[in-house]
Amino acid sequence: MTQFVAFSLSLRQLYHTGRLSQYLLLLACVAAVVGLFASRALVALSPIVGFLAAAAQPELASRLRGCARLRTVLIMGLLYLFWLLSLVYTSELAIWRHEVYRKLPLLAVPLAFAVAVPLSARQRYGVGLLYVGLATALALGTLGRYLLNPAEANYEISIGHNVPAITGIFHIHFSIMLALAFFFALLMRRSPLATAAIRWGLLACAVALCLIMHVLAYRTGLLVLYGMLLIDAVLLILLQRRFVLGSILLVVLTVLPPVAYFTLAPIQHRVSVSLDDLNQYKSGRDINDYSMAKRFAAWETAIIIAREHPLLGVGPADVDAAMINQYEYQDFGLQPRNWVMTHNQYLEALVGGGIVGLTLWLLVLFGPLVQPALRQNPYVVHFLLMMAIANLVDSLLQMQIGFNMFVFLYGFLVVAAERQARLSASLPPRLRPIG
């Protein structure tokens, strides 16, 4: 009985000091990171724990009022509200009900990072190290799978397939997560919390991730990697006036792709199969076994539908049905099993929500960059721009892992950064953090 009373008092003390809320938020972040790489169950539990972290905030009422002033939280809420209101014109009620439930993290996750007691700098850094460490470990494990039988792996790549991640993560999302980990590793080396050993370790992780992405020839990940490096070079030269560093990066971008092509068989195979895809589509030949060509056909199909429903689209829940109906009219010679969906998040938003839906999605992606404090945060900038590039070639929110990845990192990086910026702006100048 005495032990129970002591535990109750300790729990009450944790609640009133805000530690309970903070520890729950930390647990939610750890579960999300581990879940993204290894366990769907942990990913599903993470938003629930985050919601509990927000509920355990001792200053809940005032934090909820402050939450209403965060633009990043509001725009995510508007996106969810639009999906909710699409009930009035959707034809796929069962899918609409499922999607409304599945997309609840759009509300829960930003709420957690906006309301719960925020993580300390060390805790956030620890979560970042966990992300980079797990990404590197899984990349090395997947490389090991490739090296067990490189001839077979190269053959699979030569016919448009990919070496699967050792934990079964879909290769598109896995490659994007590796690209994110590469940039996070380089950015985290700048932190004052990084000791010499951590800086060297992060550099080793970045080098390993870059090399492995090239060896495994993940097309989407490499597109995101090179696209972000090019943007970094332009930003360094035009905005920061760091001409030498920017020029060096441009030279690297000029030299690295041909070096990778002439030294790595997987890159040669990937380039060859991509060119075959393009030629097959342009010449009007059979594209049933050509990944990129099927994607081009999907984009053309989506654009036709979007033109017919420009303002509000067909309804977010009706996108797949509309695509199938259009394929039945114009199938590009594809068999029904090869009728792929939009494979482009912008087109997905446009087909499902029209101009209104696309505008909301663009506000989610680029709206934070209007705020100076977020525009100056390198983590926020890299995450949003890399997601913007990835959205060109895949509908990231349609698969659960892509949806969870985006929503968690949006909350962890973007919402938390806006909250911190507003808190700093409300403090007297002498109490504001430097940098």
pLDDT digits (tens, 9 = 90+) for 241-294: 888 888 999 999 999 999 999 999 999 989 998 888 888 888 878 888 888 888
Residue of 218, 200, 239 whose CA lies nearest to 378: 239
Q: Residue 7 has what pLDDT? A: 47
Q: Token pair 């539908």 is at which residue?
A: 305
Say yes or no to pLDDT of 408 above 50: yes
Angle between helices 19-38 and 2-17 (to 10 degrees): 90
Q: Which of 185, 159, 411 is nearest to 289 (CA)?
A: 159
Q: What's the whole-number mean pLDDT along residues 110-121?
A: 94
Measured between alpha carbons, how far is residue 171 from residues 166, 219, 295, 329, 403 in Å? 10, 9, 16, 31, 15
| Region of 332 on the Ramachandran plot (φ > 0 left; ψ -120 to 50 alpha; else beta) | left
pLDDT value at residue 435: 33
Q: Which of 415, 416, 418 is nearest to 77 (CA)?
A: 415
User: 């983590």: which residue's tokens?
Assistant: 379
Q: What is the pLDDT of residue 426?
A: 63
Categorize the per-residue pLDDT at 132 as very low, low, confident or very high, splitting at 50, 70 and 90. very high
Task: Determine how many CB atoms are found less than 10 A away from the CB of residue 335.
Answer: 9
Sequence-separated (6 or more) residues with CB below 8 Å from residue 71: 367, 368, 371, 418
Mean pLDDT for the chain overall: 90
Kindly tell me the burial class for residue 71, based on how many C-beta atoms sit within 10 Å of its own C-beta (0-12, 13-18, 19 or more). middle
pLDDT of 150 strictly over 60 = yes
**Residue 410 to residue 413: CA distance in whole angstroms:** 5
For residues 83 and 315, give the distance between their C-alpha atoms in angstroms, rounded to a whole number. Answer: 8
The rounded distance, in Å, linking the Cα atoms of 286 and 83 is 37
Phi/psi at 44 (nearest 5 deg)?
-65, -35
In the chain, where the domains are located: 20-115, 121-285
CA distance 298 to 342: 5
Percent of the chain with pLDDT over 70: 96
Name the nearest CA neighbour of 415 among 121, 117, 110, 120. 110
